[in-house]
Amino acid sequence: MNVNPELIDLGQTLSSLGISQEQMIIIGMLVGTDYNPGGVKGLGPKKALELVKEKKTLENVIGQSGWEFDTPAEKIFEFFRKPPVTDVQIRARTPDSEKVKKLLLGHDFSLERIERTLEKLQGAQDKKKQSSLQSFI
């Protein structure tokens, strides 16, 4: 199965819609986030875009949108505008097969499928290991 990713240029998208990045965040909030699943009732992407283009600012948009969520719109807006960043160092290492099996079996994956994938992963890791010059002689 081939996966063909689509490249979306933020600047080009914002320009073509005639909005700012902050207004794009407001549209996202109106159609729904983890903080307000389902978004504002009666507002889909097209209506949200129209409202943002007309009202411009978060304060004006929220005042006209029917926002009725526990989390204040301003808090969600600031989270997406300046998300918290955690410095994480990622290290490649061999996975613990037993922990992987325990985790995935709890999510309805078959043991056969898990073991087959772990074998493929181990094979790929084995191929990555650097060979010595002696192996070429």
pLDDT digits (tens, 9 = 90+) for 17-33: 999 999 999 999 999 98
| Topology (CATH) of 11-81 | DNA polymerase; domain 1 (1.10.150)
Residue with tokens 């199965």: 1
Q: Is the pLDDT of residue 3 over 90?
A: no
Q: Which of 98, 128, 92 is nearest to 114 (CA)?
A: 98
Residue with tokens 């989390």: 71
Q: Which of 73, 72, 114 is nearest to 97 (CA)?
A: 114
Banded pLDDT at 59 (limits 50, 70, 90)? very high
pTM across the whole model: 0.63
Alpha helix stretches (DSSP H) within the chain:
10-17, 21-31, 45-55, 58-65, 73-81, 97-105, 111-128
Neighbour-count burial for 17-55, b at 16+ CB within 10 Å, e otherwise: eebeeebbbbbbbbbbbeebeebbeebeeeebbebbeeb
Q: Which of 12, 33, 129 is nearest to 81 (CA)?
A: 33
